[in-house]
Structures are given as C-alpha cells and as structure tokens.
Amino acid sequence: MVFSSLLFIFAFLVPCMIIYTWVDDAKKNKVLLIFSLIFYSWGGPQYLILLLADTFASWWFALQITRHRKNAKQYLIGECIVLLGLLGIFKYTVFFCSNLQALIGIPKVIPQIVLPIGISFYTFQLLSYVIDVYRKEVKAQPKFWKLLLYSSLFHQCIAGPIVRYETVANEIDHRTISQKDIYEGIRRFCVGLAKKAILANGCASVADTLLPFQQSALQSQAITGLWLGMLFYMLQIYLDFSAYSDMAIGMGRMVGFHYLENFNYPYMAHSVQDFWRKWHISLSTFFRDYVYIPLGGSRCSKGKYIRNMAIVWFLTGMWHGASWNYIFWGLYYLLFLLLERFVYGNRLKPVWSHIYTLLVIYVGWIIFRFENSSQLLTVLAGMIGIGNHAFTSMQVHTLFLENIFFLLFCIIACTYIGKGIRNGLYMIGKTNGIIYRLYTWGELLLPPVLLILSVLALIGNSYNPFLYFQF
C-alpha cells in the first residue's frame, strides 16, 4: 500500500484520522500502533514478524545497557550483530552468493530471498535508538509497545525519513495538536501527493519510454533520447522521494509528530558536498553521526580522512541496494568529494559550480539507474556518440514537444521559486489587504485543489510505485 493510492487515502488514512480524532488522548497512540501494524503487514504479513523481532531486540538491548553500564558495550555489539545480521541476510545474501558463484562456482543454487519492505529504514532507526541510549543521549523506553510505535509508524517506516528517537521521544507521550499543525500537515501531504501523482509519475512515464530496461532498445535509442530520458529520470527520483518525505512529514504533523526535513532543494546545490547536505538528509546525518565521526571524522591525518570517507561512501552505496552499480555510485561521489576537498575546493565561480554540480549529479543517476552493467555501459557510451546511435529521432522529437511545458514545470518544482512566491505574497500581504486576501484564499484552496487533481491523475494510472521502496 503506497501513500499515493486511492486505497490508502480513502480506505486507510481517512478512517485512521477519524478514529484518532474521536478517541481520547490515552488511546491515540494505540490507534496509531494498530493502524501502523496493519499498514506494514499489508505488503506481506510474514515480514511483520521481522519488524517485531528487530524492535524487541532493540528494546531489550537498550534496557540492558541502562541496567548494566559496565557491560554496556557488549550489549551494543549484540544489538549491531542482531540487526545488521538480519539486514545482511535479507538484503545481501543473494548478492554475495551470486558473486561467489561467478568466481568459484559455489553455491550451485542461489537462495531466493524477498527483501522486506522498509527493512533498511527501520533497522537504521532502531540502531540509532540503541546507540543513543548507549551514549546517554536518550533514555531507554521501558514499554515495548511504545518503541514498536516508534519503529512502525506508518508515516515513515517504509521509506523514511530516518527519524531519530530523540526527535519524537517526548512527543510519543506528550504532544499537542493545534489548528496550524492540522492545516500545515494536510497542506504538506497534498503537496507531496500532487508532486508524486502528477509530476513524478509523469516523469517516470517519459523516462521509461526513452530508457527501457532492454539492451536492444537502449542500443537503438537516439543520443538525444538518452540525454532526455535521463533528465526526466533525474527529475523523477527527486520528485518521487521528496514527495514521500513530504507526505510522511505532513501525516506526522497531523497527529502532533514533528519530523525533521529530509530534502532542501538539492538540485540548487553549488557543490557535491552541498548536494549531500540537502539530499536525503536523514541518511547523510545517520552516517555522519554513527560512522564518520566515530571513525575520527576530518580531525585526523589525510590518510585516515580518506579512509573514513571511503568507508562511509562504500556503505552509502551498499545501503541503497545489493548491486555493484550502487557501490560504484557511492565511490563515484567519494571521488568528487575528495577532489573538492584536496584539488579545486571553492575555486569555481557560483554559476559554473552549479552547472558542474548538476552534471556530476546527472551522471551519478545514470550509474544509479542501471543495475545491469551492459545496459549502463551502453547508455554511457551512447550519450557521447559511441555506437550505432542516431543523433535524434521522431519519437524523441515528439515526446519533447509533447512534454516541454511539463518538463519546465517539473524543473521549477525542484527550485526555490514556489516557496519564494509564497513567502513574498505573505510579506507583501502584511501591508496590502488585497494581496493578503489573495494569499489567504490561495492557502485555503491549495490543498483541496491539489487533492482533486491528484485523485484524477491516479484514477486509471497503473504505474505508481515509490522508487525508494526497494531500498
């Protein structure tokens, strides 16, 4: 069940909010827990056992750390072994077995293991909780069901953002909801829904048409088709994932949880380092606080700094998927981050630095998209004219003309322009009654209009997955 489905909106979210509003405060958390467990089990009831087991292990290890401080490190190691072990079994067994089979011929039969939805996200959340208890940054949660609520909240347990326990620890037991929270939550959800249902899905349609996962089709695609297809994919992956985060943050706000932002207009970055401060912020923060800084961060020798960065970016690539292209993608960013630090730094002028950053990101998404190495090399070679690729074709020309205004709107949606217009109208409206009324009516009408447009877009649309569900 995905957020951008009519089933979720009208058969799950609406009943959840009605019941949540109707019950007294003492029962609100239990309502959220029940709905969260139903939501997670919808994609495979058998994997609910795994979520329960991971949460129970984290709950027990955290309590033992609190009670037995002398042996705290042993319990922390136990937590890491259990959670990372389970993550490794489910996410990487097939990958390692496939590579071993290619190298030495064993095992003869590769086990078929289905990846549980959201396992990377809730594993990292629970790890951060136990580590923070070990560091005495948060208190251990004495009630198992409340920790289960934290790990399974349907707003964010499937595809993030990765919510630190300290962010919501107080709000689990003590939260109030104002009219502003409800409005901002509904507005944020509707914006995310429209971003996904209208923009991301539209980009996906064009990207998949121009860049199908078929070797023969890629070999025959025109050069301009490869470039245009990747441009739409670059827009799709941001609009898709940031839309999920918008909806998660919005739904959390509706019930009094204030999740931190996960995206901050990453395509407006002026360096690769700046991009990773703005993209998937919760993941970058996790690796910074729990891997990079404990290894020594940047306060060490040049050699150790490079080692620390290499470990972080290898793990970042591995986290995204059990395939070599994700590892290469992580190491690709490592290369440019090291170049920025040791070679050219801030020497590029702002305009050129922005263009350079977008080009690095663009090529990075090519590596990210294609797990098949043959397809990846075909696209990379074709984009620079290597192979039997025509420069353009009637299909590419037609698709471009049909989607030119849609493309421009998607590009604008990735910038500060919309936010700037909203803030500008608000500031002018403080001294201008007409502008204030326009601003007020616009704020009131935006959520229902976006909801209606999104529902219309979703009716009959068979393609509607979230890209980050696979991670």
User: What does the block give as tokens for 31?
Assistant: 């309502």
Residues 79 and 127: beta-carbon distance below 8 Å? yes
Would residue 320 show up in a list of annotated catalytic residues for this protein? Answer: yes
User: What is the rounded CA–CA span in Å between residue 146 and residue 169?
Assistant: 10
The closest alpha carbon to 156, from 27, 257, 7, belongs to: 257
User: What is the rounded CA–CA span in Å between residue 438 and residue 441?
Assistant: 5
How many whole angstroms from its chain centre is CA 425?
Answer: 31
Those residues whose C-beta lies under 8 Å from the C-beta of residue 96, and which sit 6 or more positions away, are none
**Element (H or E) spanning 325, and its range?**
helix 324-339
User: What is the rounded CA–CA span in Å between residue 5 and residue 363?
Assistant: 31
Would you give the DSSP letter of residue 115? Answer: P
Amino acid identity, position 230: M
HEC letters along 288-319: HHHHHHHHCCCCCCHHHHHHHHHHHHHHHHHH
Those residues whose C-beta lies under 8 Å from the C-beta of residue 125, and which sit 6 or more positions away, are 150, 151, 157, 162, 163, 164, 165
Which of 155, 270, 280, 320 does the annotation list as catalytic? 320
In whole angstroms, how far apart are CA 246 and each of 72, 192, 205, 271, 411? 37, 5, 22, 24, 18
The closest alpha carbon to 38, from 57, 9, 4, 12, belongs to: 12
Q: Is 450 left (phi over 0), alpha (psi -120 to 50) or beta?
A: alpha
**Alpha helices (runs of H) in 349-432, residue ranges in sequence order:** 350-369, 373-383, 394-413, 417-429
Residues annotated as part of the active site: 320
